[in-house]
């Protein structure tokens, strides 16, 4: 039986108008054939055996007005996370300096907001400038942005803005009701128009079907330009959140490692030049599962002990895994 090769798929060439049918066909390939195709695409566009290290810091925790069903920081959740104020720039810079010393080349700052307020913008600009002065790439995720806010952050020197679509358009309202899928796209458009790089991905294992994962990747690959960075998270089901409580009763709805690797591989083939980042949930993956993700085209991770309010693999564990696999941090 003949299977699609990278040169036979529009996905591998990142041609405009990639169809859901093409993405669905990739998901149906035998697992080893799919991973082999993804690896071939990966080494065509990215350095071999190199993985970017990023660090994520919560600069404003809890009390978010959105009802995202996965998030412990939502005001709707009963997770015990308390609302806190924006931390000061000196604390952020100290964390960024430590991240750089540990090998990170990108420093991401996240705030639990629906959108930033005008009063917060000067402090955010200061953080961007000071972190950037350390020689790090800067990224922020602050919720929705207006065009003017995106322009101002770009003027301050922000390199990347993260705003995930989270899941497929069809499954979206099963997860979030306080802002629409179109709201997400509007913010991404403001970021793109401001000249910043787009960081956009989502969360796998929220009870969605493979058809939803196909729709999720189709939505990403069909943006005016594929995201520069694509973070792929495996849901960390947190008690007190809507999805955490739901999946405690239906654990089979969570994504298994093989299906997660399939999704990484299809993301790599459909968005060949994007950085694909293993994000939240990696601490629960086996070393073999992570190795397969790297084989399938993942080339970035969040390192450090925490991601916002959830645990993460520590630097020692990542160093040991990289040594086993012959991987090295990319600059």
Of the residues 71, 254, 262, 268, only one is catalytic, namely: 71
Gap between the Cα atoms of 51 and 327, Å rounded: 7
Catalytic residue at 200?
A: no
Catalytic residue at 293?
A: no
Q: Which two tokens stand for residue 134?
A: 């350390």
Of the residues 108, 179, 192, 262, only one is catalytic, namely: 108
Of the residues 192, 268, 277, 282, only one is catalytic, namely: 277
Catalytic residue at 139?
A: yes
* Distant-in-sequence, close-in-space partners of 215: CB < 8 Å, separation ≥ 6: 20, 168, 169, 170, 171
Gap between the Cα atoms of 103 and 315, Å rounded: 9
Per-residue b or e along 140-162, where b marks 16 or more CB atoms closer than 10 Å to that residue's CB: bbbbbbeeebbbbbbebebbbbb
Catalytic residue at 71?
A: yes
Of the residues 139, 192, 213, 293, only one is catalytic, namely: 139
Can you tell me which residue has the tokens 């992570």? 290
Of the residues 179, 184, 199, 293, only one is catalytic, namely: 199
Q: Return the active site residues.
A: 64, 68, 71, 108, 139, 199, 277
């Amino acid at each position: 039986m003949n299977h699609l090769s990278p040169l036979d798929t529009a996905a591998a060439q990142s041609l405009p108008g990639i169809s859901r049918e093409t993405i669905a066909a990739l998901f149906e390939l035998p697992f080893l054939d799919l991973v082999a195709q993804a690896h071939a695409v990966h080494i065509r566009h990215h350095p071999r055996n190199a993985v970017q290290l990023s660090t994520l810091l919560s600069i404003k925790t809890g009390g978010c007005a959105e009802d995202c069903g996965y998030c412990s920081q939502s005001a709707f959740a009963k997770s015990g996370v308390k609302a806190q104020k924006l931390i000061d720039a000196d604390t952020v810079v100290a964390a960024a300096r430590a991240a750089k010393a540990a090998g990170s080349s990108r420093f991401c700052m996240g705030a639990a907001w629906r959108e930033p307020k005008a009063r917060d913008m000067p402090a955010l600009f200061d953080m961007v400038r000071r972190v950037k002065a350390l020689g790090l790439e800067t990224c922020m995720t602050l919720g929705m942005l207006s065009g003017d806010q995106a322009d101002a952050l770009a003027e301050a020197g922000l390199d990347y803005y993260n705003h995930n679509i989270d899941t497929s358009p069809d499954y979206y309202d099963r997860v979030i009701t306080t802002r629409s899928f179109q709201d997400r796209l509007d913010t991404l458009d403001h970021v793109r128009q401001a000249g910043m790089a787009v960081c956009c991905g989502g969360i796998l294992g929220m009870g969605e079907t493979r058809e939803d994962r196909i729709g999720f990747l189709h939505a990403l690959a069909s943006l005016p330009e594929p995201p520069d960075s694509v973070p792929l998270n495996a849901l960390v089901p947190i008690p007190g959140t809507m999805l955490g409580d739901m999946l405690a009763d239906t654990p089979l709805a969570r994504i298994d490692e093989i299906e997660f690797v399939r999704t990484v591989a299809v993301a790599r083939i459909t968005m060949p030049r994007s950085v694909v980042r293993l994000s939240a949930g990696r601490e629960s993956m086996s070393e073999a599962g992570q190795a397969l993700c790297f084989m399938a085209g993942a080339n970035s991770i969040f390192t450090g002990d925490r991601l916002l309010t959830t645990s993460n693999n520590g630097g020692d564990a990542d160093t040991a895994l990289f040594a086993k696999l012959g991987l090295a941090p990319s600059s």
